[in-house]
A and B are shown apart, each in its own frame.
Chain A
Amino acid sequence: MKVLNIVEAAYRGTLEEQDDTIVWFCHAMKGANADIDVLLRGNAVNYAVKAQDASGLSFGEARQTQPPQLANDLVKLKGKGVRIFVVEDALRERGIEPSELIDGLDFVPRAKLAKLFGDYDQVWHW
């Protein structure tokens, strides 16, 4: 069974969790030999931006020492054989240039999403 995981709700609890919970979930499923890929759409396309930096959070003497590294988490996921698709319309709408993104992404226009979905047995929209 081959599954495409759509990540759309972005930065949901990422500072508390120190990752994106669905990207993390995909890492864990891949560790269980799941045949999965990931599609970033909506605000989640920003996860692929290299220059983002969530470090520096502190409240009083409580400092976050392991901030989320979302782009790097995608790089690691791709290194495990997971394809990372990004909706190119969503990038354009947000003024994000491809040069700002991590390497190795697969860009897909919104108009071709239905065709992409057809390549999978199931599509899970998280």
Chain B
Amino acid sequence: MAKTLTFALMDPPFENARSTTALRLIDLAVKGGFNVNVFAYEGAVYLPFAKQAQHPNAVHGRNVEEENHPLPRTWIAALMKEAGDKGLKLDWANCGLCVDERGAAEAIEGVRRGSPADFWNFAQNSINTLVIGTR
């Protein structure tokens, strides 16, 4: 049976390198055969926000298709598929109150609502937990 790692994330998307680094770590965990739990707290609930949209970039001289702007929701969906294809699970819980105060309820499929109790449960059932706080 695959072992499990838990991550707590706090940063919103498109603000700093920690968000991408966190997804890199999650990717490596899945590639390494681990189930992964993610508890998204505060601004991180916007990482899987379903309404993130690509845009053209006139400075780059590219239209929307050419620009192919990265969207964290797409990366997270890809990580979930990667995990599923390997018989693993990426269980992503968004802090429910954080979602409410931000109006961020429209998340991609596979994201569920959670609470600090879920995070504690995640941590208790994982071999280790990494908190990536915001600064």
Cα separation A13 to B135 with both chains bound (whole Å): 11
Interface size of B as a range:
10 to 19
Interface flag for A126 (CB, 8 Å): yes
Q: Check if A126 sits within 8 Å of B133, measured CB to CB.
A: yes
Interface flag for B8 (CB, 8 Å): yes
For residue A26, give the distance in angstroms from its CB to the closest CB of chain B.
8
Q: Majority SS of interface residues in chain B?
A: mixed
Cα separation A125 to B133 with both chains bound (whole Å): 7
* Residues 17 to 49 of chain A near chain B (Cβ within 8 Å): 21-22, 25, 28-29, 31-32, 34
Interface flag for B20 (CB, 8 Å): no
For residue A41, give the distance in angstroms from its CB to the closest CB of chain B.
13
For A7, the closest partner residue in chain B by CB is: B133
Which residues does chain B contribute within 8 Å of A59, judged by CB atoms? none
Which residues does chain A contribute within 8 Å of B128, judged by CB atoms? 122
Q: Check if B41 sits within 8 Å of A21, measured CB to CB.
A: yes
Q: Check if A9 sits within 8 Å of B135, measured CB to CB.
A: yes
Interface flag for B4 (CB, 8 Å): no
For A12, the closest partner residue in chain B by CB is: B134
For residue A92, give the distance in angstroms from its CB to the closest CB of chain B.
23
Q: Check if B123 sits within 8 Å of A1, measured CB to CB.
A: yes
Which residues does chain A contribute within 8 Å of B121, judged by CB atoms? 32
Which residues does chain B contribute within 8 Å of A22, judged by CB atoms? 133
Pick from B115, B120, B131: contact of A126, CB below 8 A: B131
For residue B24, give the distance in angstroms from its CB to the closest CB of chain A.
19
Which residues does chain B contribute within 8 Å of A1, judged by CB atoms? 123-124
For residue A122, give the distance in angstroms from its CB to the closest CB of chain B.
6
Interface set of B (CB-CB < 8 Å, partner A): 8, 10, 41-42, 115-117, 119-121, 123-124, 128-129, 131, 133-135
